[in-house]
Structure 1
């Protein structure tokens, strides 16, 4: 009996465990992808809500297709587009509170409340005030989800797939955009709203059966629930997850010894993580992505590119999905920094080409008829490369850089910064473009992408394959190189 390789569960379950066998447990990696996928259905619903303006603005401007008493004006259209981002400024703080108080799972589920309220207001709208309220309500849900979803995915993932799961946010939001682009121009205003309600309901039902994160259970000193959660996530036995549980428990306990306040966000490694996160979301928003997505149909109409704008937006939506599907596959091989550099470079070229087209258009250039393809080509390049890096990776990197003890405080602030910038872009894109020309507006966005390239190359640390503890050591300067 002395040479039998058995021991007992150290947490107290009393189950004999074959240690040698459990060292060989491979687990089931697909479980992490499946659970993260279900969690990100909520993100897909936000893409559907955010892209709603593209096909619906035309319906609201037409008295025969609008549910309102009168067609909307250009100024009302700008407010409808931008007010979602106002709600999203406040949503992160609600999301941070619910994630910390009730858990990541219930925080995600609670985000469906403002999303559903928004769709009810849209369906009942008779005046533009209903739409303003609906967009603000959607924004609250979006802000909550963009705070909690990266947190949830980072906390359920092993180090080798954390980048892939973090990239799911961009992949799933593009599914939502593609859906609204595909059905919006061809169905009634009311049908669009009913699909939105059904979309949120599908998320609620599916995600209800998903687990909480082990990190949250450990923060509440519930080791048994954390162990069960890890068993579900990894597809392993209790002994098979024990080493990971012990390591994670030590990290969480160490972080809980510190009581994080808002001032802690602005100290040492925490501040470095915070300003890198804020800078990345600045470059993300000032790439002009939301101006392009919210006003996609209007851009194609202004370009007069010789293709129906409804079909052009579907093409762009499909490109988004395909491009966003590439990042989860390659991000843990190539690394975050190189993808951010490729993405910002490609986005800058696409925006430069788009600006050049509108410059020729503004000057009635004789070559304009021969380059009618250029707006679609430029936007495809912009969207394709944006989805490789600038779209998903600021959120993934934010979830990786921020220490556990400050994440619930710092992440909502960084997310609110993101949506404040998004409001400025979406609200004033139209007036600025009218004042200085579409070409100047796109070139400003392009210059910001050039800035993103150099910032990613010089400042952003590579986090590929590193544990959250190793990342904190890099930020604190306790590593020989930030570029390993």
Structure 2
């Protein structure tokens, strides 16, 4: 049972600062859980997701050189986490019909632990590694959908956009954690020690149990008493009374989903959300993250080792995602996304040029251009995390009407993981077929197209309540008064 229904200590009657803290705490705990999901299996949703993404890159040398894994086996071990995530995304809507958001999120912990247990005990059994990553991916997919839903429901209009960017921040923290642990551990023949330490990252997910459910969840269950208490925990009711009543109206007034799908503005918003997610995946971010260490080992890394570079780049990603949380209130989503797409394209073009020069004159590039791969990669990842990374996930939480929000998030997240699966699986084959330089230029072209798409179609939702967003679609909820002080 949620603590919000059992003790009055969760109530925030007078302190707006306390309510702000409550919202940020909820976002960070939810996000951290998400990271761990991926990482484990990546581990927890945000943090776990980051660990999972980085796990493949950190263990690729051991799989290839010590375990004698074939290219197909390495591709499957690296990409099967995406299959698990797709399964978790598809099953979530059915689970949410009977279980609350926080209950489902906490329930992913045992699945994570079983998944990491398979990985830690796999030794040289590829099927065992694959099973572990499949289970971790399953939990990660669930967390990726739950986070934007929960934060979109509990955050105030002045902090919602910023809170939704925490997901990518926690992913980057998970990536940094994984790369740092792998760099510090000398483990040439096995991967169980590294995987065990990675598995620990999923345990903080249990802290989500201290969070109240969102008021929208309680109202959908016709539980107005606990909905009021949840509102008082997440919001300063004296200053946001009108906004909170509007949020309540969203649940009390439900439009027909079929009718909404005929609304041009709704269709446009759905296509925009999916477009951003597709561009994110086709920009090459996941295969480049999965294979960062391999790329540095084979394509040059200046005076630093591949392990040192992965740690440095992971740290740069954390800093750049933190900068996004600062600038998003000042510049807005559209500008940050457009700048992110343009700068990503520029640095990918430079990477492609570097690889082309290296292929034509290997001796010359070592002396003159050895500093370029880590520099352009670092700037590419920084550009991604200044805009496209955080915002592509956050845009799912507050762009569409409440009635179809969950369906839209599930659809976009499934497409994201499916594309990631295909990209990760065929990444090596594409490099062999056309060369890495041409592949970088293709990714650059996608980034530039994305910048144009963002500049034209992205709409700002900062300082807008959920009811304001609803009204943008010409969906007018009924006015229903609920006394929050009763």
Match 1:308 to one of 290, 305, 310: 305
Match 1:345 to one of 339, 342, 347: 342
- Paired with 1:30 and 1:94, the residues of 2 have a C-alpha distance of 32
CA contact (8 A) 1:99 1:105 kept: no
CA contact (8 A) 1:98 1:104 kept: no
Match 1:459 to one of 457, 460, 481: 457
Query: 2:25 — aligned with what?
Result: 34
Unaligned 5+ runs, structure 2: 1-12, 34-45, 477-486
CA contact (8 A) 2:300 2:373 kept: no
Query: 2:232 — aligned with what?
Result: 231
Alignment deviations for residues 361-403 of structure 1 (CA, whole Å, 9 cap, x no partner): 1112664121111111111111111001111111111111121
CA contact (8 A) 1:273 1:401 kept: yes
- Residues 1:275 and 2:274 aligned together: no
* Equivalent residues in 2 for 1:38-187, closer than 5 Å: 38-42=29-33, 43-63=46-66, 70-125=67-122, 126-187=124-185
Seen in structure 2, the aligned counterparts of structure 1 residues 245 and 387 have a Cα distance that, compared at 3 Å, is same
- Paired with 2:229 and 2:197, the residues of 1 have a C-alpha distance of 36
Query: 1:403 — aligned with what?
Result: 401
* Equivalent residues in 2 for 1:312-323, closer than 5 Å: 312-323=309-320
- Residues 1:214 and 2:215 aligned together: yes
Match 1:336 to one of 318, 333, 336: 333
CA contact (8 A) 1:291 1:426 kept: yes
Alignment deviations for residues 278-334 of structure 1 (CA, whole Å, 9 cap, x no partner): 110111001100011100001101212232100010011001111111111221221
* Equivalent residues in 2 for 1:366-445, closer than 5 Å: 367-368=364-365, 369-445=367-443
Seen in structure 2, the aligned counterparts of structure 1 residues 250 and 472 have a Cα distance that, compared at 3 Å, is closer
1:475 CA drift (Å): 4.6
CA contact (8 A) 1:96 1:144 kept: no
CA contact (8 A) 2:183 2:308 kept: no
**Larger deviation: 87-96 or 142-151?**
87-96
Alignment deviations for residues 264-288 of structure 1 (CA, whole Å, 9 cap, x no partner): 5575433222211111011100110
Query: 1:193 — aligned with what?
Result: 195
Seen in structure 2, the aligned counterparts of structure 1 residues 218 and 240 have a Cα distance that, compared at 3 Å, is farther
Match 2:205 to one of 203, 206, 217: 203
- Paired with 2:48 and 2:14, the residues of 1 have a C-alpha distance of 40
- Paired with 2:369 and 2:475, the residues of 1 have a C-alpha distance of 51
Query: 2:283 — aligned with what?
Result: 287
Q: What's the C-alpha RMSD, in Å, of the aligned pairs?
A: 2.2
CA contact (8 A) 2:121 2:192 kept: no
- Paired with 2:359 and 2:260, the residues of 1 have a C-alpha distance of 51
CA contact (8 A) 2:119 2:128 kept: yes
1:457 CA drift (Å): 0.5
**Larger deviation: 374-383 or 94-103?**
94-103
Alignment deviations for residues 142-164 of structure 1 (CA, whole Å, 9 cap, x no partner): 21111111111111110111111
Instruction: Tell me the TM-score normalised to structure 2 length.
Output: 0.87
Query: 1:248 — aligned with what?
Result: 247
Q: What SS does structure 1 have at the residue aligned with 2:361?
A: coil
- Paired with 2:167 and 2:262, the residues of 1 have a C-alpha distance of 27
1:25 CA drift (Å): 5.9
How many residues end up aligned between the 2 structures? 445
Query: 2:292 — aligned with what?
Result: 296
Q: What SS does structure 1 have at the residue aligned with 2:156?
A: coil
Q: What SS does structure 2 have at the residue aligned with 1:392?
A: helix
